[in-house]
Amino acid sequence: MIKIALLFPGQGSQYNLMGKALLESSPEARDIFQRTNEILGYDLLAIINGGNLEQLTRTEHAQPAIFAYSYAIFQSIWKEKKFFPSFMAGHSLGEFTALTCADVFRYEDALRLVMERATIMQQATADGFGGMAAINGLHPLLVEEECARVSNGEDQIVVANYNSSNQVVISGAKSLIKVAMENLAKIGAITIPLQVSAPFHTPYLEFSNQMFQRAIAQTPMSALKWPVISNVDAKPYYHPAEIQERLSVQMISAVRWKETIEYMLRQGVNTFIELGPKSALTNLLKRDFSHVRAYSYEENYQEITAAIDEQIAEKRPSVISRSLAIAVCTRNQNWNEEEYQKGVIEPYRKIQALGNKLEEEGREESIEEIRQAIEMLRSVFVTKKVPLEEQRERFTQIFDETKKRHLFDEFVPVMFAEKEAVNEK
């Protein structure tokens, strides 16, 4: 069974003329960039195509450019092939792309957030003060020790990204990064300065972070269409309130990318598709997890379409599989362990076993099995104290995605009628 995760890159992946082929072939992509220009108030494509990499690398240009291009890739593929990713994850800036593709943010709202984020991050430090560098070939603990050793009372550097078993990214004062790179190279590290102009994911951005929290709080959010993994703790988001909470500290927290990939692998993901400029995330994945399929849009388009077609050919997601996924993605607000065991864990495991049985037997779910899955999810919702409106949205999502909308009226309204009748008593 094909389980696909979509990955979205962050700043540092930008390059001149990126997206040229997509824009030539995709009306959707051209429309997205036109809308982007209108919101930004300037011609972003002129900067991307202008040949001045230094200008494109500036945070306030690079972040909207990567965001718009990555989103345009997703939309162009989604228009042609209605596939169903099991997870989405984005590296730093890419997390905003993932959340937008998962329908948490409207594109226009997300772009404004990205603009705000880029501007306040760039303004956080004087031009030329901050920077970042990739450190390859050493255990992360050695790099952490070097960061602590060269930091002083005034300036500091920290590990900002835990990308793989032997790659981390350091961030902070550019002068100290240069010293650390030289020292680490002496003990075998391969060091690469990154194309960024601010010390992302460090305490230097604390004031910027406080400003950004206000912007996030004012941005409308919707329920997740697909699970998205947070950079901050490498766990899936369950609710818009959690998205606000974790995104508001993302820029001062380390990106736990390796843990993010490991989480998705534990959930059975076997195909990773990177949507965005270059192939940095794909290459990282291949180094640590050579047994999984990892493709980047710009280098492996044919393989990507083949993997998606393979998933589509298998079958559309079942009500059982989507109910199980949504049960996991739903935020819990009930800390009574006995109720949680009876109302969440036990029914979930029962339906999980049923799903495994159907997969082994290679058959479709029956109406009765669909009913059992819906009853399980209803039990999870009630036990986790999910608001009724969110419950309705989730059930609608399941029946729409599985193309079984005709069954919605048979199962769901009865459950809500029963619940509301109880509440009236």
- Active-site residue (options: 86, 201, 230, 379): 201
CB-based contacts of 32: which residues, under 8 Å, 6+ apart?
68, 71, 72, 75, 107
Annotated active-site residue 239? The verdict is no
- Amino acid, res. 385: K
Q: Which of 13, 70, 86, 92 is catalytic?
A: 92
Q: Helix %, strand %, coil % for the chain, to 5?
A: 60, 10, 30
Q: 347-351 long-range contacts, Cβ below 8 Å, gap at least 24? A: 347/375, 347/376, 347/379, 347/380, 348/324, 348/376, 348/380, 350/376, 351/320, 351/323, 351/324, 351/376
With beta carbons less than 8 A apart as the criterion, state whether 87 and 269 touch: yes
Cα separation values, 368 from 79, 296, 414, Å: 33, 41, 15
| Alpha carbon distance 53, 414 (integer Å) | 59
Determine contact, residues 101/6, Cβ cutoff 8 Å.
Answer: yes
Annotation says 139 is catalytic: no
Going by C-alpha positions, the residue among 405, 235, 247, 189 that lies closest to residue 329 is 235
| Residues labelled catalytic | 92, 201
